[in-house]
Each structure stands twice: as C-alpha cells, then as structure tokens.
Structure 1
C-alpha cells in the first residue's frame, strides 16, 4: 500500500515538474480562486453577524431571518 501511494505521488510530482504550459494555467487558476474567495467576499458578502456580540444574539438573528424569509409576503391585490 505504501509503495502504491509513493508511486502515485512520484507520478504526479514528475508530471508537474515537466509541465510548461500547465504551470501557467495553474497560476491562472490560483489567481482566480484568490480573487473569488478573498477579494469578492469583502464586496458581496457582508458579515451580518458581526453586529451581534453573543452567540445567543446571533442565533436569534439567524432564526428570525429564516422565519421572515420563509413566510410569503402579503400582497393586497384586490
């Protein structure tokens, strides 16, 4: 089992060492992941729970939000 895992590891290690175009593509992928998870997070996903200091307050906030979003809005279409 150990020799099989070592063989697989060496196979991939040799493959990554001999890449030329692949390194550039991996760099592009890593830059895109960084932008998606670290940069866009600050602009599109605000931290609503930071306003609530205790875990009980956070639980109440989340519970109320789930209830409010589950209830249909009342419309007055007469």
Structure 2
C-alpha cells in the first residue's frame, strides 16, 4: 500500500471504505486509459499516413469549433 493509500485509509475511517475503493478503481482506470493512449500515440507516430490522417481530423475539429469566428456572417 502506498503512502497516499495509507493516508486516505486513515482519513476515511471505517465509513469511507466504499469511497476509498472507488478512488482506487478510478486511479486504475485512468492508468489503463493513459497506457492505452500512449500505445495509440506510439502507433500513430510510427506511421506517416496515420499522422496525416490525424492532422486532417484535428483540422476538421478546429474548423468546426471555431466556425463562428472564422465566418461570423451569413453568406
């Protein structure tokens, strides 16, 4: 058990066991998610066509998000 987990256990007492368990589960989930995102980024980084496709997708998101600022008037 890490120091954070020990201090969380001490603070939670007997009634906070469910909250502690939920906190630990969410940490595990986010660690797995981060690990998965790192693996995905490594895969994209190794492929030039993957990076080009990712740039195009981000370009579309950028244009969609800032459309009111890019073209503020109706044609």
Which of the pair is proportionally richer in helix?
Answer: 2
Larger Rg: 1
TM-score norm. by structure 2 comes to: 0.39
